[in-house]
Amino acid sequence: MDIIGDLTSQLGISSDKAQALAGSVVGLIGGRLKEEFGEESTRELEDKIPELDEWKRAAERVVGTESESSEGGLSGLLAGVMGGGDDAQGGGLLGSALGALSGARDINVIATILSKIGLDASKAALVAPLLLNFLKSRVGEGTLKQIMSVAPMLTGGGEEGGGLMGALGGFLK
């Protein structure tokens, strides 16, 4: 499956933006896997998607660099979701006991990523199934189950129609 080609054609964006989108979202998922299930899950994701490093570099170029934002560009944007940041902020969202907020925070990060790439939140309905099908084609069943547990927005885990778009719709009300 050519996820970059699919994102490019479905969303009408450049290949560089498609790589940035894939790198941002898959990077977010990888961070959540690492926090929830440890290095092994992240290692499989990286092994099965060797182009992920290139996509993450595209994300830094397109979504932002560390000098462009006080939050540190993509790294700062994702760090709050993946448990980074200083202890004064509770060690990041995953360090908090408010698990219900993590889904909303992930949705906020994804909405920000889409915006920085020049897409509105309505395009999320196209992104989620493409990424889910791509991940299904690359990772094993066990890792896929773990991905679905940390990223339910890829399927019917959201509100109002399910998936990422439903979650974004509920979040953006």
Structure confidence by residue, pLDDT tens digits, 38-66: 998 889 999 999 999 999 999 999 887 44
pLDDT score, position 106:
67
pLDDT score, position 122:
80
pLDDT score, position 110:
79
From residue 132, alpha-carbon distances to 79, 83, 101, 139 in Å are: 23, 24, 22, 11
Are 75 and 66 spatial neighbours (Cβ–Cβ below 8 Å)?
A: yes
What are the residue ranges of helices labelled H in the chain?
A: 3-11, 15-37, 39-48, 52-63, 73-82, 99-117, 124-138, 141-150, 163-172
Q: How many domains does the chain have?
A: 1
Parts of the chain with a pLDDT under 70: 65-106, 156-173
pLDDT score, position 48:
94
Amino acid symbol at 69: S
138 Cβ neighbours under 8 A, 6+ residues apart = 1, 48, 49
CA gap 31, 108 in Å, rounded = 16
CA gap 106, 93 in Å, rounded = 10
pLDDT score, position 57:
94
CA gap 164, 43 in Å, rounded = 25
Q: Report the residue count for the chain.
A: 173
Q: Which domain holds residue 99?
A: 3-172
Residue 44 structure tokens = 């499989």
pLDDT score, position 123:
84
pLDDT score, position 157:
53
